[in-house]
């Protein structure tokens, strides 16, 4: 693996990944149907992508890579929340 400086990786990441921001936000909205969660999902996707950008194969489809990261992040979030215990609201009848 070729080592790059942090500055070079940041520049390459900006050129390859940031241009897909609007598309990813639209995809996040389609997945979540929630503006706030969509923003969080996009942010988490870019954080994961940036953290692992040194492993990204240059010359391959960056958008497909980002979509896969987003999809996996969304699925993991869904499964995590599905396992979480549901909270019941207490009302006067249950007390």
* CATH (domain of 52): 1.10.1740.10
17 falls within a domain: no
In a domain, 3, yes or no: no
* pLDDT (tens digit per residue) in 12-43: 999 999 999 999 999 999 999 999 999 999 99
- List the structure tokens of 15: 């050129």
Whether pTM > 0.85 for this model: the answer is no
Query: Would you place residue 6 in the very low, low, confident or very high pLDDT band (cuts 50, 70, 90)?
Result: confident
For residues 13 and 50, give the distance between their C-alpha atoms in angstroms, rounded to a whole number: 7
In a domain, 70, yes or no: yes
Residue 54 vs residues 1, 6, 9, 46, 74: alpha-carbon distances, Å: 9, 9, 7, 14, 23
Residue 69: domain span: 22-78
Structural domain contains residue 54 = yes
Predicted pLDDT at 83 = 67
Q: How far apart are CA 27 and CA 90, in angstroms?
A: 37
In a domain, 84, yes or no: no
Q: What is the number of domains present in the chain?
A: 1
């Amino acid at each position: 693996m070729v080592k790059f400086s942090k500055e070079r990786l940041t520049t390459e990441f900006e050129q390859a990944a940031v241009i897909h921001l609007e598309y990813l936000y639209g995809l996040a909205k389609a997945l979540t149907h929630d503006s706030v969660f969509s923003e969080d999902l996009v942010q988490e996707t870019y954080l994961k992508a940036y953290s692992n950008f040194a492993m990204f194969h240059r010359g391959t489809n960056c958008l497909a890579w980002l979509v896969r990261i987003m999809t996996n992040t969304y699925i993991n979030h869904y499964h995590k929340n599905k396992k979480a215990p549901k909270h019941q609201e207490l009302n006067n009848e249950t007390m």
